[in-house]
Amino acid sequence: MMVQRLAAVVDMSPLGEAELPAFRHPRNDGTKSWARRIPRWPRVNALQANVLASLTLFAALSWYFFVPSTLYLYLVVVLFTCPVLLVCRYLRLSSHAVPSHYFLVSGLVVLFVALCVVRGWSPTQSVPAEWLKPSGDTYYIASLLYNSERILPHYSDALLRLTDELGHDAVFVSIFENDSQDRTPALLDDLRTKLRERGVRFNITATALPADVLRAERIERLSYMRNRAMAPLHEEMRSGLGGHAFSKVIWINDILFEPAAVHTLLHTANGQFDQVCALDYFWLGFYDTWVLRDTQGHTVRPLHPYFRMKQDRDDVQAQRPFPVNACWNGLTVFDARWFTDGPRAPARANAEGPVVATLPAPLERFDGYDVTATLPLRFRPCSQCYSSESLLTSLDMHRLAHPRRPRIYVHPGAKVMYDYPTYYLYQHVLKWYVVQPWSYIWETWMERRLFSWIANLGLRPDPCDSLFQHMWSHEPAPRPTADAKGSSLQAGHTSESNTGVSAAGAGPKTDSIKSTAVDEASMRALTSMDCGLSLMDERIKQSIDSAREAMTFLKKRAALEEEYGHGIKKLTRASLSDYTSNENRAGTYGTSWSNMLKNQDSVSENHFRFATKLTAISDDIAMLVRDAEQARRQHRDLGSRYEKTLLDAEANVDKARARFDTAAEELERVLLVKQGDSARAADMSLGTLGSKRSLPMPFAKGGLFKNKNPQQILRHEEEFRLKKNNAHETLRGESQSTENVRQEYFQQQLPQILRAFKETLDELDTGLQFQLMRYAFLYESIVLSDGLLVNPLGNKSSLPGLRDSVVSINNAADFKDFMQSYELARRGKDVRGPHRHNPYDEAVLGQILHQSTLTGRSDDPANSRAVFGVDLETQLLRDGVEVPPVLEICADAIERIGIQNMGIYRLSGTTSRVQKLKAKFDHDWSTVDLLSDEAIQDINIVAGCLKLWFRELPEPLFTYQLYPAFIEASKIENEYLRQVRLHEQVNELPDANYATLRFLMAHLDRVRAHESANQMTAHNLAIVFGPTLLRSPNEAQVAGASGGNPAYLQEMTYQCIAVETILDKYRDIFVEGDEE
């Protein structure tokens, strides 16, 4: 009833207000109606009622489930409803009243279909089981979010499922959100809680952008935010905590996605890629193609035909990955080494500096692009055609990999969307088998013929296309193909397979390598040879073996260089430690000897870098060998298959010729019998066939023609003549077919296979030659570096050379300085030995007695102001100072004279001299002048005296009361939270301790600023001062255990961590904003 009234309201009845006869059951013969007439309401037929009921129910469900897109759904309803109702009205279908059970059944069917759509009842998107097995890879997931409340519930669920599948320990999630105005921060708090429960490492930052960034252009803001999302990775790389350990960097924008799409990208080309992107879809085509460039440098249209190359369009249709020059879509996966150390050089030391790309000279004329591309990559803006920071990243990869080409792919099978209707359309509705025919009709006729033609009318060529076509002019990346299982993709063979970044920085000049273009004269000579395939197979096998030998040699050479570097480093550091700890010569010899050891330490660093680069070259050759071996098998198998096809065709021709010869002989015998020459026919059969068993039936034992009349012989003649004609036609067809196969083989297939063999061979030989040139260049560089360490040229301000260090030794000056320091050390001491003057001279005795009578007393120790072993607060109150004088005096001397001494604070001075300096401070600190004291001859004495003062404090600088709190704060693994907790405990220190700690940390911060010279990093300083400043209250109980107690060693570790963290964050903890 309600449906019919709704139909009346929209006035859809085909007959208007006209009366309709009642529907009567056939058995009642019209005497009784089981469907009453409906008075006053226009009647509708069954088809109209079903259409209205379905659309009403569908609209109601869409209002509940698809609130943001209701307008679009109602538009679709109107477009599809009006033509149906018009057809119904025109045909006047069924003018009878509708049975009530008809509405019930149709309503249930419509409800079931609608629930299937809403619940997503469709074939599930699954991934192969082997993709979900632990692979040992680690993944860095980065994302930017802003006002993402609508998609965050689905985004968070998909992200959590992805972390479950990849492994909680193998994932790091970094999300940067900037000042969203909706519920995005609250939803991110829920995501933090769920990630924490799973044990996933994460860094979710929600903050406002700085004022200068807000005033910048959009691309500059995006570059800043993307680098903020990558900041944890960069921080780990700078701190040496293993930033290079990540295998892939996964960028997930504010999209709707499924974990299967991420797995699809991760396994593209068997994971051997530099960058791979998903495709952003909307209901008519691609959503975002701003960065996407095909292999010719052309932009990609969002509507059909999308790409200019037919191969690319076919790959999109078949959902296969294909190479491109640049891409950046809602889901992108990078090889993580581009953002850490660079491809195939994961062990490169950070001290080596960034790798600068070797760029072709024509690039200099392109305005707006900074040609100095460096590793590791960073997002950065620029002007004009390169305004996108994402496009610039791909361009930097091309520049850094020159002359090779990075492997950048797009995988249409990985679909991501930005709104819920499109997501349900592609992820659920279009996967129904019943929808696939309609989907084909829509894509083939509506989308490709109508909408794309209309939409592409307004498109204009991109003005940047010409620039990209010129800059990206090398061969395209390999096009992946499906493997035998169909579950993963592997890179097929092309002429550009090695995409490694040269670890040698600028690298050798590649113009000295001959061109790899195939010599046409050699190809013609090779094609004319009968043994061309076997020749090429044997030749490429020799090249592969040669490349393997070179790879093995370089790998062993790298191991030897690394072992050599380790040996030199261990020897130099042990020698330096022994020299500084013993009482050896100082002066110019000590300085020279220290510089010589530092020089040798630099030699070890050079050989470490050399070993790393040799390993990279060996890996590149291994990749060349692997690609060449794969291509060799492919070409050999293809050639064998083509050759077998030709041989089979020739065998078929031989068989057809034999059948034709047999038919011709039989016809000839019949003709001889017909002419009455039976004896000759029998002799012919015996002479031809050789035995009675081989004779045809008509001639065996007299033959069938012995008693045949002429009519029967004529009939046999016709049969054999027809058999001969059929055999002749078969022979001619087989001959023509074989000739076609032969022509195709020798003119097309064989030259193509030989050319592919030759290209593979040239690629392998040229690649091997290039890598050997890299080795020669690196070897020349390491020899030159070692020579410059012996005798540097030009800049003399750096570390002196080995020869200059030896020449700078002045033995006479060293002896003179030693005499002076030795005399100062013995002055004032009671030294037993012969006296130069008579000690009992009358005048001397009288003077001594007179002085004794006047003074009447000796020095009183009670008048001295001791500083060692005195409580800190007592010292400061007694002397009226804010910072202990011994700390100020010693720190000032160290910063003036010894701040660049290697091992300052780590090396201790002579114990007797340290005790002598301590006695001077205890006697009267105000009279101590270290700059004129003998202790200044060895700055380690001053450093040892300062450490002794801290050790002899009755209560350590970090008080016993706060010791447990400092240790607990040091156990926190999260660096930021550990800093906050330690900052809180520092603020709890007494005023005297706080002021002393602040002065000490400022001094140590200045010391570690010269760590390149003194080798005293924050970690080394923390090892020295940690157990001194943060002593355990029960130190007496554990002292007897020395270092053998594990608990004691663990506490020492936490003591060092506390001091190192406070020193690292010195400015955040102690320095106010206005002081900076």
Do residues 507 and 358 touch, judged by C-beta distance below 8 A? Answer: yes
The pLDDT of residue 988 is above 60: yes
Q: What are phi and psi of 1070, to 5 degrees?
A: -110, -30
Least Cα distance to 604 among 562, 659, 558, 664 occurs for 562
DSSP for residue 578: H
Give the C-alpha separation, 42 to 193, whole Å.
60
Q: Specify the pLDDT at position 108.
A: 53
Identify the top-confidence range among 108-112, 936-940, 1000-1004.
Answer: 1000-1004
Average pLDDT of the residues in 986-995: 90
In tens, the pLDDT along 382-402 reads 654 555 777 778 888 877 776
Cα–Cα distance, 918 to 868 (Å, whole number): 8
- Range(s) within the chain of domains with CATH label 1.20.1270.60: 535-790
Mean pLDDT of 31-42: 41
Cross-strand partners of 852: none
Q: Are 1018 and 1063 in contact (CB under 8 A)?
A: yes
Share the mean pLDDT of the chain: 72
pLDDT, tens digit (0-9, with 9 covering 90-100), for 835-851 = 555 554 444 444 444 44
Q: Does 173 score more than 50 pLDDT?
A: yes
Three-state DSSP state, 288 = coil
What's at 590, amino acid-wise?
Answer: G
User: What pLDDT is stored for residue 80 in this prediction?
Assistant: 52
DSSP H stretches of helix in 68-151: 70-91, 100-119
Question: What's the CA gap between 228 and 232, in Å, rounded?
Answer: 8
Please tell me the predicted confidence (pLDDT) of residue 582: 65
Which residues partner with 256 through β-bridges? 417
Query: Is 352 in a helix, a strand, or coil?
Result: helix
* Average pLDDT score over residue span 64-69: 43
Question: In which band, very low, low, confident or very high, does the pLDDT at 272 lie, cut at 50, 70 and 90?
Answer: confident
Residue 477 exposed, middle or buried by CB count within 10 Å (0-12, 13-18, 19+):
buried
Enter the tokens of residue 906.
């780590």
The per-residue pLDDT for range 574-593, each reduced to its tens digit, is 887 777 666 677 778 878 88
- The 3-state DSSP class for residue 356 equals strand
CB-CB neighbours of 106 under 10 Å: 19
Percentage of the chain exceeding pLDDT 90:
10
* pLDDT above 70 for 359: no
- Mean pLDDT comparison of 459-468, 528-537, 627-636, highest-scoring range: 627-636
Lowest mean pLDDT among 126-135, 353-362, 925-934: 353-362
pLDDT single digits (tens) 476-512:
445 554 443 333 333 333 333 333 333 333 344 433 4
Q: Are the C-beta atoms of residues 119 and 428 closer than 8 Å to each other?
A: no
Residue 304 has pLDDT above 70, yes or no: no
Selection from 302, 750, 781 nearest residue 504 by Cα: 781
Which residues in the chain are classed under CATH 3.90.550?
A: 137-350+405-469
Q: Rounded to whole angstroms, how far apart are CA atoms 495 and 516?
A: 10
The CATH code of the domain at 137-350+405-469 is 3.90.550
State the virtual CA torsion across 779, 780, 784, 786 in degrees, nearest 10: 20
Task: Compute the C-alpha angle 74/76/79, nearest 5°.
Answer: 110
Specify the pLDDT at position 817.
74
Q: Where are the alpha helices (DSSP H) in 703-830?
A: 710-744, 750-790, 802-807, 811-826
What are 759-799's pLDDT values in tens digits? 888 888 888 888 898 888 888 888 888 888 777 776 554 67
- C-alpha–C-alpha distance, residues 821 and 934, integer Å: 6
Alpha-carbon dihedral sign for residues 60, 65, 71, 75: negative
**Is it the case that residue 1042 has pLDDT exceeding 50?**
no
Q: Which string of DSSP letters, residue by residue, matches 302-327?
A: SSTT--SSHHHHHHHHHT--EE-SB-
Q: Give the CATH architecture of domain 535-790.
A: Up-down Bundle (1.20)
Class of domain 866-1070: mainly alpha
Q: What is the DSSP string of 484-535?
A: SSSSSEEEPP-S----PPPTTTT---GGGSPP-PPPHHHHHHHHH-TTHHHH
Instruction: Measure the CA–CA gap between 517 and 499, rounded to whole angstroms.
Output: 19
DSSP assignment of 147-163, as one string?
S-TTTHHHHHHHHHHHH
Place of tokens 């579950």: 487
In this structure, are strands 285-286 and 322-323 parallel, antiparallel, or unpaired? unpaired
Sort residue 242 into left (φ over 0), alpha (ψ -120 to 50) or beta. Answer: left
Q: What does the block give as tokens for 677? A: 């020459």
* Burial environment of residue 10 by CB neighbours within 10 A (0 to 12, 13 to 18, 19 or more): exposed
Label each residue of 208-263 as H, E or C.
Answer: CCCHHHHHCCHHHHHHHHHHHHCHHHHHHHHHCCCHHHCCEEEEECCCECCHHHHH
Q: What is the pLDDT of residue 604?
A: 87
Q: Please state, for a pLDDT cut of 70, what percent of the chain lies above it.
A: 63
Mean pLDDT of 992-1017: 90
Whether pLDDT at 29 is above 50: no
**DSSP, res 345:** -
| pLDDT tens per residue, range 540-571 | 899 999 999 999 999 999 999 999 888 888 88
Among 96, 531, 41, 452, smallest CA distance to 285 is for 452
C-beta separation of 547 from 621 below 8 A: yes
The answer, as to whether pTM is greater than 0.75, is no
State yes or no: pLDDT of 750 exceeds 70: yes
Decide if pLDDT at 238 tops 70: no
**C-alpha angle with apex 265: 262 to 266, nearest 5 degrees?**
85
With bands split at pLDDT 50, 70 and 90, how would you rate the model's confidence at 22?
Answer: very low
Residue 143 pLDDT exceeds 50 = yes
Here the tokens at position 88 are 């119904």
> What pLDDT does 142 receive?
94
Q: How far does the chain reach from its first CA to its final CA, in angstroms?
A: 81
CATH 1.10.555.10 domain span(s) along the chain: 866-1070
Q: How confident is the model at residue 369 (pLDDT cuts 50, 70, 90)?
A: very low
**Which residue is it, tokens 């996967």?**
431
Per-range mean pLDDT, top range of 25-34, 449-458, 686-695, 949-958: 949-958
CA distance 143 to 588: 57
- The strand pairing partners of 355, in sequence order, are 375
